[in-house]
Amino acid sequence: MILNKKMGMLKKYTNLLLIATCAITAHGAGYQIIEQGAANMGNAMAGAAANANSDASAAFWNPSTAFYMGLGVGETRMDTSVFFVIPKLCFVNDGKTNPGIVGGSSWNGNCATNSVVPNFFAVHRLSEDFALSFSVTAPYGLESDYRGDWIGRMQGIRSYLYTTDFNPSIAYKVCDWFTISGGVSAQFAYCTLSQTAAQQVGSMYFPFVLDLTGQGWSVGGNIGFTIQYCETGRFGFQWRSAVDYTLDGNAHSNGSNIIAPISADMSMPDTFTMGVYQRLGGDFSNFALMLDYCYTRWSVFQQLDVKGLGSDPIRENWKDTSRISFGIHYYPDFIENLTLRIGTCFDESPVRSPTDRTARIPCCDRVWLSTGIGYTYENYSIDISYTYIFLVGDSTINRYEPSFGGSQVSGSYFGHINVVAVQFGYKF
């Protein structure tokens, strides 16, 4: 009877699993989507690896923390969250841009798009020593969309990538203070890139829109551990492997006519994430501190090589990056089961220099300022968060690409991102 009840709850969440395949826009550095759990977002992702919020987002960030969620044997917790993202990212021409033989007119405007990023997590305490978890997320994705007549259209108009990751994991309790976990990710990726190209007829050049599309499946994995070093503190670590793809598809002219079949190799980088959650004592017993550090091996993205077009690879030359987050919880006495959150994060860009920055992914360093609130009533919980992300450091671009006669994009980017998220959780 208990099993039938749980199967009924799983059926109710089936649509949420399907919805979670729609996330498309990168809000972390590179093309990484860090928005995994609205409660975590209230702390700018600080404490996610140690599961500071004791929710089912452990299924993605570190399944070995499942034993510190307050689940009894046979109990299950599910969480689903939705992020509403409103970005602004504008290019400003410095007057040195060479649009190429069929480039567009000068245009300064927003190339970012609004998006919705959902995700789903579930954790089940199978026995005293084993726990199972499952997550459906979009760990990588991006979308930039310029007007068709913008001055850099020969280097890119629209760039779109989404991934969907299905990640079952198992966790084992080695002893009261040490747990381990491991899992497998089945990941799907779809990508489309468009730009203006030129066809030469005699001495004349005629522009057309070149669209490249490709998709594929691949497999990765994750391992992690958690150390509860005191009753009110724990340390968590997780490694998520690289996921290597071969994306197969076609090159299209003006969105319809197939020019040629194409393929491209692409790697989603591996990441190392570690974090600490510490509830304070004495006069500060209403507070907890969180700290997370993530290292991402973006150096796997050195070039974009599309086979089948007869063109040279496009240089990317990315570097490995760090992300560090700090957060605070406040548990007020005047409202039981209420949590107030605040956090900040520095997210390093993988782009090395203005000559390496591309119009497709004009990434630069960014800082997050986050706040959030969570409330639990019996077996239900709701969390709401808001994050403001702004660009810092060098955001200039001085990019030359030789394809189709050559073009130069020179200028700078400015912008910010507003992220509002809501999360619902249920334990049964």
Distance of CA 347 to the CA centre of its chain: 12
pLDDT over 80 (residue 33)? yes
CB atoms within 10 A of CB 4: 7
Query: Please, is 142 exposed, middle or buried when counting C-beta atoms within 10 Å of its C-beta (0-12, 13-18, 19+)?
Result: buried
* Nearest partner of 342 among 46, 33, 56, 37, judged by Cα: 46
Residues 125 and 131 sit within 8 Å (Cβ to Cβ)? yes
Q: Which two tokens stand for residue 23?
A: 């996330």
| The pLDDT value given to residue 140 | 92
* Nearest partner of 263 among 315, 214, 191, judged by Cα: 214
| The pLDDT value given to residue 6 | 40
Grade residue 412 by pLDDT with cuts at 50, 70 and 90. Answer: very high
Residues 48 and 65 sit within 8 Å (Cβ to Cβ)? no
Q: Which two tokens stand for residue 244?
A: 């290597």
Backbone dihedral region for residue 282 (phi beyond 0: left; psi -120 to 50: alpha; all else: beta): left
Domains in the chain with CATH codes = 2-427 (2.40.160.60)
| The pLDDT value given to residue 299 | 94
Mean pLDDT of the chain: 89
Structural element, H or E, at residue 258? strand 257-268
* Nearest partner of 144 among 401, 416, 360, 397, judged by Cα: 360
pLDDT digits over 66-86, tens only?
999 999 999 999 999 999 999
pLDDT digits over 274-317, tens only?
999 999 999 999 999 999 999 999 999 998 889 988 778 888 99
Grade residue 11 by pLDDT with cuts at 50, 70 and 90. Answer: very low
